[in-house]
Chain A
Amino acid sequence: EIVLTQSPATLSLSPGERATLSCRASQSVSRYLAWYQQKPGQAPRLLIYDASNRAPGIPARFSGSGSGTDFTLTISSLEPADFAVYYCQRRSDRSNTFGQGTKVELK
Chain B
Amino acid sequence: EVQLVESGGGLVQPGRSLRLSCSASGFTFDDYALHWVRQVPGKGLEWVAGITWNGRSIDYADSVRGRFLISRDNAKNSLYLQMNSLRPDDTALYYCAKDMIQTRLSVAAYFDQWGQGTLVTVSS
Say whether B45 faces chain A, with CB atoms less than 8 Å apart.
Answer: yes
State A95–B59 Cα separation when bound (angstroms): 8
Q: Is the CB of B47 within 8 A of A96?
A: yes
A-B CB contacts (within 8 Å), total count: 61
Which of B35, B108, B117 is most buried by chain A, counting CB atoms within 10 A of its CB?
A: B108
Taking the nearest CB of chain A, how far is it from the CB of B44, in angstroms? 5
Say whether B9 faces chain A, with CB atoms less than 8 Å apart.
Answer: no
Say whether B100 faces chain A, with CB atoms less than 8 Å apart.
Answer: yes
Q: Is the CB of B117 within 8 A of A96?
A: no
Q: Is the CB of A49 within 8 A of B110?
A: yes
**Number of residues of chain B lying within 8 A (CB) of chain A:** 22
Given A93-B107, A98-B47, 19 further pairs, Cβ under 8 A? A34-B111, A36-B45, A43-B95, A43-B117, A44-B95, A45-B114, A46-B100, A46-B110, A55-B100, A89-B47, A89-B111, A91-B109, A93-B106, A94-B59, A96-B50, A96-B107, A96-B109, A97-B47, A98-B45
Interface of A is mostly: loop
Docked complex: B4-57 residues within 8 A CB-CB of A? 35, 44-47, 50
* CB-CB nearest in chain B for A91: B108
Taking the nearest CB of chain A, how far is it from the CB of B98, in angstroms? 10
* CB-CB nearest in chain B for A96: B47
Taking the nearest CB of chain B, how far is it from the CB of A29, in angstroms? 11
Which residues of A come within 8 Å of B, CB atoms?
Answer: 1, 32, 34, 36, 38, 43-46, 49-50, 55, 87, 89, 91-101
Q: Is the CB of B100 within 8 A of A96?
A: no
Q: Is the CB of A101 within 8 A of B47?
A: no
Taking the nearest CB of chain B, how far is it from the CB of A87, in angstroms? 6
Taking the nearest CB of chain A, how far is it from the CB of B41, in angstroms? 10
Q: Is the CB of A91 within 8 A of B110?
A: yes
Interface string of B94-123 (1 = CB under 8 A from A): 010000100000111111101111000000
Q: Is the CB of A93 within 8 A of B108?
A: yes
Q: Is the CB of B47 within 8 A of A95?
A: yes
Q: Is the CB of A43 within 8 A of B115?
A: yes
